[in-house]
Every structure is written in structure tokens, then in C-alpha cells.
Amino acid sequence: MKPAVAREIKQIAAEAGALSWALVRESRHLIVDFRFTDCVVRQVLAATPSGPRARQNEAAWLKRRANLGG
């Protein structure tokens, strides 16, 4: 995994309040499991984001999903 991709995933996890994350698969899309206190959320991320707000939108989606309990 490229260091820039790892930094982006760490930033998304930090913004969403995830305790940890694990990369499940990396190809055109990244499949990442984010662990929260009461659930694990699997999220599919584009390997190359489409725009400057793409990663912010992914973090927002992750927060909403975690609040629902996975």
C-alpha cells in the first residue's frame, strides 16, 4: 500500500472516530474494515478519489453508518 493511501485512510478513521482499521483488499477499489467500540463497518473506497471533497464525503458516510451500529 502506498504511504499516501495509508495516510488518507488514517485521516478518514480519525475523522469518523474509528478505533482501528484494516485493509481487506486493494485493487481499483479499497475495501477497508473500520472498527468502532460496538461495531465494524466495511467501506469500499475509490483508489483514486474523484474530487477534493470525495474523502470528506466518505468520512461523513462512515460516521453516519457507525452511528447506526454497522
12-49 pLDDT, tens digit per residue, is 999 899 999 999 999 889 999 999 998 999 999 888 87
Within its chain, how far is the Cα of 51 from the centroid? 16
Phi and psi at 4, nearest 5°, equal -65, -40
Q: Which domain holds residue 57?
A: 3-67
pLDDT over 80 at 57, yes or no: yes
Domains: count for the chain: 1
pLDDT over 90 at 66, yes or no: no
pLDDT over 70 at 69, yes or no: no
**How many whole angstroms separate alpha carbon 28 and alpha carbon 1?**
12
Which residues have CB under 8 Å from 55's CB, separation 6+?
8, 11, 12, 49
Upper half-sphere CA count for residue 7 (Cβ side, 13 Å): 3
3-state secondary structure of 62: helix
Confidence of residue 56 (pLDDT cuts 50, 70, 90): confident
